[in-house]
Amino acid sequence: MAYTEDDLKKELETKEYEYGFYTDIESETFPVGLNEDIVRAISKKKEEPEWMTEWRLEAFREWQKMEEPEWANVKYPKPDFQNISYYSAPNKKPKYESLDEVDPELLDTFKKLGISLDEQKKLAGVAVDVVMDSVSVTTTFKKTLAEKGIIFCSISEAIQEHPELVKKYIGSVVPKKDNFYAALNSAVFSDGSFCYIPKGVRCPMELSTYFRINQAGTGQFERTLVIAEPGSYVSYLEGCTAPMRDENQLHAAVVELIALDDAEIKYSTVQNWYPGNKEGKGGVYNFVTKRGLCEKGAKISWTQVETGSAVTWKYPSCILKGDNSVGEFYSIAVTNNFQQADTGTKMIHLGKNTKSTIISKGISAGKSQNSYRGLVQINPRAENARNFSQCDSLLMGNKCGAHTFPYIEVKNKSAKVEHEATTSKIGEDQIFYCNQRGIDTEKAIALIVNGFSKEVLNKLPMEFAVEAQKLLEISLEGSVG
Amino acid sequence: MELKDKLVSSFFALEEEFDAENGIYDIRNQAIKDFETLGFPNRKDENWKYTSLNTILKHDYSLFPKKEDALEYRDIKKYLIHDIDTYNLVFIDGIYSSHLSQTTHDKIDVCLMSSALSKDKYRPLIENYYNKLAPKTGLNSLNTAFAREGAFIHIHKNLQADKPIQIINFATGNESALMLQPRNLIMVDENSHVQIIERHQSLTDHPVLTNSVTELFAGKRAFVDYYKIQNDKDSASLIDNTFIEQQGESNVSVHTFSFGGKLTRNNLNFYQKGERIDSTMKGVTIIEDKQHVDHNTLVHHIEPNCESHQDYKGIYGDRSTGVFNGKVIVEKEAQKTNAYQANNNILADDKATINSKPQLEIFADDVKCSHGCTIGQLDEEALFYLQSRGIPRKEARGLLMYAFANNVLESVKIPEVKKRINKLIATKLGVELGFNL
């Protein structure tokens, strides 16, 4: 890989959270608080049809009856849901035909984020949908995709233009009363991405969404819906950043994937929300519900690199409903300073000959807590189901914690389930080996962590893999001495 | 009236009788108050997610059975490991049976909880150890409130118990349903050795629920070898709560053999309070019908340089359910810990279920901790190999399952116990093994 040790050195020098800038864009923000009127107002603002408004209200009513989950192995002051603004949009309604019309300051923001739109348009061939403070700002490459019949747009646009698809699939995998945060999201989601791949089409480029919380005191609630018709393929990337702030910001997203017969969806996330400062002040609460449904012979693959957020609560899951379907989960979760992560997956085997693989790598440093929590469930009808799970944890120092909570429930005798977990530190002999070959300790650790994470990094698309590798090193900087 | 209310009110009705006893009057009173607040665990409790007590709590249990039925040695012989000389503590419906037991006060104390509670001589031990280890949970408190009898074993410093000790609780159940609350206290001082075999056996078809609490204290360099044999009737249920505190360089191993009973729950907890401690937990579970066995283990590594080994094997037939919930906690001071946990299961029938939850909570970095869990079937090729050599399929299956369970047996140190377990496994699997170990 072109990324050399010197690059690493440079990266390590700029160890502060590099995405911590705030963009001064006039934006329209709703008053804080949440009630039915706000829900209606969001819906009206988005010019949504009646059924959508009703759907949101139903979710809101359910949400009011629910309580915040307490079972996760994380401790944090509970967010005050009446003290959050549920809608914040960059002021000028961005419906641009070309990039020239975009607010130059916004473009600057994207440049800082390293997703210079026009550059990517030309070079990378990545179609990007950028969601800033909950509103989808721009979607590139729409026309190229449209030729193939692929729909890639913001979810609010999809509600307007493809209501039949949205109506059919929204909430079908993550029901609106699935859990506390999913219900909240269903009530107030302000935007997100929508993606539809027609039958037999192989999406020619990586689709990508970039999320950013910009405004203070706002929560971000985006909703992503990916539908892959029979025999189609799509690879979808998602990245997140937020400016540095002292207060905790809330991010509660819902992602639904629907892979119909023989379709394949690859969903990769590089999550780098602001993790809070060294004293554990500020940072984003990342409470996300992600779930995919596999029909016959379909495959869903989740890959995630979690380096940011003060508190992460996230379990991308696969429901393997159809026979011969496949679910995969590859995860690296890095926590440093006072970060807390409780993440893992659920593999629900319903169909015959279903297979799932779970590879989870946890790295804890500083005073952080890192938990893997996963469920593998083999139901009575899932003949010949197969699961392999591996959870490895790496600890740096004795002020952090690594936890493993696997749940394995098997109700079919033909199932083969394997689970293994290990916890270790970076061996002194490994570092010594590197040292004696002239690699200093800091670099040696970067090297070893990289090797530890390789299995997962390999699953990421090229552009993301490089970024993720850098992120890992930056997040762990200064954690070993 | 619900069982909980009944228990609480019968406690107050019988308080006067308890009053006559020394020492633990206050402990009892506190315990019943705790039980009143805590109640029985339910499935909302994370530790009881896979085991519901509802079906066994619906009976109208009687707590204070009438006088014992006359049992003769020949009635109970088959439940004892009778081919070696042992100390025996036999309890029938919770009441000590002197003519079936063999106790001692010669150098070591192997006697009754009730007598230990009433004698001044044992007062300091009771004050220092009784109810000091069992955490406040509904079931422990229930036992503490009602427990009147059990084993009291004290092995003094630098002594080796000259023969194994058997603790056997029989239920004869003239009552329609019986609840037993045995309470054992075992103190093994510095450099002492002891081997203990514990069994709960119902001789009646009426429902029996045993809620047993055992507290074991192993001193420095003490050596304890504990075997639990569970092969009860389908009408009997057992909740076994065992708490073990180990001092430096001690070695405690507990083998649990669960072959039957309506519902069996083993709460096995180790607390390591010194360096270079070794804790071993092993188990074989072979069940069928609608039986339910739940192994819930905890190892708390508090000091550096300790080890723990867990190895649980299970074979589940018919509609049976197995649960393994193992937890290893490594505190940040406990560097150089070596914790190993394995749980292997075979589902023999379609309706059988296994729920496994091996957990690690680690706060120290220089440790080696691993766990592995597998669920699978017998290797078809191995079966074919045996069949091609003239071994019928049923026997071949039995042999393979036997081999699967066997490496747990390797660490059984009393040959007669090993033999007995071998026999039980062979019967369970319905095969003639044709060889003895």
Give the gyration radius of chain A's Cα atoms. Answer: 22
* C-beta atoms of B354 and A410 within 8 A: yes
Chain CA centroid to CA A12, Å:
25
Residues of A with Cβ-Cβ distance to B46 under 8 angstroms: 71
* C-beta atoms of A410 and B365 within 8 A: no
* C-beta atoms of B373 and A413 within 8 A: no
Identify the residue among B357, B362, B380 best suited for mutation to test binding to A, counting A beta carbons within 10 A and taking the highest: B362
* pLDDT, position A109: 55
* pLDDT, position A46: 79
* C-beta atoms of B358 and A398 within 8 A: no
Q: Where are the domains of chain A?
A: 28-427
> Does any CB of chain B come closer than 8 Å to the CB of residue A105?
no
Residue of B nearest to A428 (CA): B366
Q: For residues B48 and B54, is the Cβ–Cβ distance under 8 A?
A: no
Residues in Cβ contact with A248 at an 8 Å cutoff, skipping those fewer than 6 apart: A76, A77, A79, A276, A282, A283, A284, A285, A310
The average pLDDT across A307-324 equals 89
Say what angle helices B415-429 and B393-409 make with each other, to 10 degrees: 150
CA distance A171 to A443: 46
* pLDDT, position A69: 80
* C-beta atoms of A404 and B371 within 8 A: yes
* C-beta atoms of B374 and A400 within 8 A: no
Q: Where are the domains of chain B?
A: 3-273, 385-437
Residues of B with Cβ-Cβ distance to A381 under 8 angstroms: none
pLDDT at A480 over 60: no
Which tens digit of pLDDT belongs to each residue from A60-71? 888 888 888 887
Residues of B with Cβ-Cβ distance to A415 under 8 angstroms: 347, 375-376
pLDDT at B400 over 70: yes
CA distance A92 to A89: 8
> Which among A71, A397, A415 has the least Cβ separation from residue B375?
A415
The average pLDDT across B179-208 equals 91
pLDDT at A230 over 90: yes
Which tens digit of pLDDT belongs to each residue from B231-290? 888 889 999 999 999 998 999 999 999 998 899 999 999 999 999 999 999 999 999 888
> Does any CB of chain B come closer than 8 Å to the CB of residue A435?
no
* C-beta atoms of B358 and A414 within 8 A: no
> Does any CB of chain B come closer than 8 Å to the CB of residue A398?
yes
Residue of B nearest to A417 (CA): B375
Smallest CA–CA distance, residue A389 to chain B, in Å, is 9
* pLDDT, position A131: 62
The single-letter code of the amino acid at B166 is Q
> Which among A408, A411, A420 has the least Cβ separation from residue B370?
A420
* pLDDT, position A479: 58
* pLDDT, position B14: 72
* C-beta atoms of A418 and B374 within 8 A: yes
Residues of B with Cβ-Cβ distance to A384 under 8 angstroms: none
Count of all residues that appear for chain A in the document: 481
* pLDDT, position B21: 58
> Does any CB of chain B come closer than 8 Å to the CB of residue A458?
no
* pLDDT, position A120: 44
Residues of B with Cβ-Cβ distance to A425 under 8 angstroms: 365-367
Q: Tell me how far CA of residue A347 lies from CA of A459, B110, B365, in angstroms.
A: 19, 52, 30
Residues of B with Cβ-Cβ distance to A378 under 8 angstroms: 375
* C-beta atoms of B332 and A409 within 8 A: no
How is residue A15 written in tokens?
């160890």
A&B contacts, CB < 8 Å: 120
Which tens digit of pLDDT belongs to each residue from B51-75? 888 888 888 888 777 665 677 888 7
How is residue A471 written in tokens?
């992120």
* ipTM score of complex: 0.78
Chain B residues at the A interface, defined by Cβ less than 8 Å, are 46, 50, 332-333, 335, 345, 347-377
> Which among A397, A406, A417 has the least Cβ separation from residue B357?
A406
Q: Which residue has the higher pLDDT, A99 or B84?
A: B84
Residue of A nearest to B329 (CA): A403
pLDDT at B192 over 80: yes
> Does any CB of chain B come closer than 8 Å to the CB of residue A381?
no
- Give the up-direction half-sphere exposure of residue B221: CA atoms within 13 A in the CB hemisphere: 8
Token pair 């593999």: residue: A347
Residue of B nearest to A70 (CA): B46
CA distance A316 to A257: 10
* C-beta atoms of A421 and B371 within 8 A: yes
Confidence category of residue A213, pLDDT binned at 50, 70, 90: low
Is B32 strand, coil or helix? helix
pLDDT at A124 over 50: no
* Mean pLDDT for all residues in chain A: 79
Closest CA to B229 of B79, B111, B87, B342: B79
Number of C-beta neighbours around residue B399 at 10 A: 21
Residues of B with Cβ-Cβ distance to A398 under 8 angstroms: 332-333, 335, 363-366
Smallest CA–CA distance, residue B310 to chain A, in Å, is 14
The 3-class secondary structure across B293-351, one letter per residue, is EEEEEEEEECCCCCEEEEEEEEEECCCCEEEEEEEEEECCCCCCCEEEEEEEEEECCCC
Residue B121 sits at φ, ψ, to 5 deg, of -55, -35
Closest CA to B194 of B167, B233, B175: B167
Smallest CA–CA distance, residue B88 to chain A, in Å, is 40
Q: Which residue has the higher pLDDT, A397 or B164?
A: B164
Residues of A with Cβ-Cβ distance to B50 under 8 angstroms: 409
* Mean pLDDT for all residues in chain B: 87
Identify the residue among B310, B361, B370, B378 best suited for mutation to test binding to A, counting A beta carbons within 10 A and taking the highest: B361
Confidence category of residue A345, pLDDT binned at 50, 70, 90: very high
* pLDDT, position B227: 94
Smallest CA–CA distance, residue A273 to chain B, in Å, is 25
The average pLDDT across A320-327 equals 93
* C-beta atoms of A403 and B362 within 8 A: yes
CA distance B112 to A93: 84
* C-beta atoms of A401 and B362 within 8 A: yes
Confidence category of residue B303, pLDDT binned at 50, 70, 90: very high
Smallest CA–CA distance, residue B43 to chain A, in Å, is 14
What string of DSSP letters covers A466-481? HHHHHHHHHHHTTS--
Confidence category of residue B393, pLDDT binned at 50, 70, 90: confident
Q: What is the largest CA-CA distance in chain B?
A: 71
* C-beta atoms of A421 and B370 within 8 A: yes
Closest CA to A309 of A279, A274, A258: A274
Confidence category of residue A472, pLDDT binned at 50, 70, 90: confident
Chain CA centroid to CA B432, Å:
28
Q: Which ranges in A123-247 belong to alpha helices (H)?
A: 142-147, 155-161, 163-169, 180-188
Confidence category of residue B312, pLDDT binned at 50, 70, 90: very high
